[in-house]
């Protein structure tokens, strides 16, 4: 195989990693971690170090986070972020200190 074909296959594996690995338990998650490590090792053999950034490295740690944290629905921050955005729109009168304005506006309700 040529280097280009190896690179294409490794990048395709990394791209499809999230679609293929829909683990059901911690054993599957540890297997997904091993798979992500082997994919990144293949990429490191092909590409120079400048190719890699923090986002390619995060694929190694995502299975660990899922094992420790459990399903995303129990630690999802979107509802709280939505509430703070609404509170900012309604209660902020002093743009220099928005947190104090939100707290004061919510307490006055």
Instruction: Report pLDDT digits (tens) over 23-41.
Output: 667 777 788 888 888 888 8
User: Do 27 and 61 reside in the same domain of the chain?
Assistant: yes
User: Do 61 and 45 reside in the same domain of the chain?
Assistant: yes
Whether pTM > 0.75 for this model: the answer is no
User: Do 49 and 87 reside in the same domain of the chain?
Assistant: no
Instruction: Report pLDDT digits (tens) over 59-96.
Output: 788 888 878 877 777 777 788 888 878 777 776 766 67
Spatial neighbors of 64 by CB under 8 A, at least 6 apart, are 29, 33
User: Do 70 and 82 reside in the same domain of the chain?
Assistant: no
User: Do 84 and 61 reside in the same domain of the chain?
Assistant: no
Cβ atoms of residues 36 and 59 within 8 Å: yes
Number of domains within the chain: 2
Helices 78-91 and 98-108 pack at an angle, to 10 degrees, of 80
Q: Which of 6-15, 45-54, 87-96 shows the lowest mean pLDDT across its residues?
A: 87-96
Cα 56 from Cα 94, distance rounded (Å)? 41
Q: Which residue, 21, 106, 2, is CA-closest to 67?
A: 21
User: Do 69 and 102 reside in the same domain of the chain?
Assistant: no
User: What residue ranges in 1-109 does DSSP mark as E strands?
Assistant: none
Which residue range forms the structural domain that includes residue 46? 3-74
Token pair belonging to 16: 């499809």
């Amino acid at each position: 195989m040529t280097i280009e074909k190896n690179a294409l296959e490794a990048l395709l594996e990394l791209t499809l990693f999230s679609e293929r690995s829909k683990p059901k338990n911690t054993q599957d998650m540890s297997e997904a971690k091993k798979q992500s490590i082997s994919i990144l090792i293949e990429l490191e053999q092909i590409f120079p170090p400048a190719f890699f950034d923090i986002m390619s490295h995060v694929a190694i740690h995502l299975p660990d986070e899922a094992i420790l944290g459990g399903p995303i629905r129990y630690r999802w921050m979107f509802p709280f972020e939505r509430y703070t955005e609404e509170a900012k729109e309604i209660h902020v009168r002093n743009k220099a200190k928005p947190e104090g304005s939100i707290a004061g506006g919510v307490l006055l309700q």
